[in-house]
Amino acid sequence: SSELTQSPAMSVSPGQTARITCSGDVFPLLYVHWYQQKPGQAPILVIFKDTERPSGIPERFSGSTSGTTVTLTISGVQAEDEADYYCQSADSSSVFWVFGGGTKLTVL
């Protein structure tokens, strides 16, 4: 299967922890990458290779894996973290790339 499933939306208060999950049969065979997208902007990479953080991304962003579910964790959520978050991997043969349906994070 090549589908990646994300919950459509979640909300947290500032300072709380947000855990955004992505499920897919390709995990843990393949890596997951996570993108943040704010309205009117292009997606930016916040986590790659399951757990690695690109330079310039705050330490409050982290990634983890457990079986067929991968998680993006934002610790101490700030108002600026309100955005859509997408997971990305590929089909099991790594022939084509796949995005999850996205999770809209609202900071209350």
Query: Which residues would be at the binding site for other proteins (CB under 8 A)?
Result: 30-31, 33, 35, 42-45, 48-49, 54, 86, 88-90, 94-102
| Closest CB 75 distance from other proteins, rounded Å | 22
Can you tell me the distance from the alpha carbon of 2 to that of 62, in angstroms, rounded to the nearest whole number? Answer: 24
| Closest CB 51 distance from other proteins, rounded Å | 12
Contacts of 104 (CB under 8 A, 6+ apart): 8, 9, 10, 83, 84
| Closest CB 14 distance from other proteins, rounded Å | 26
| Of 9 and 76, CB closest to other proteins | 9
Q: Determine phi and psi for 92, rounding to 5 degrees.
A: -65, -20
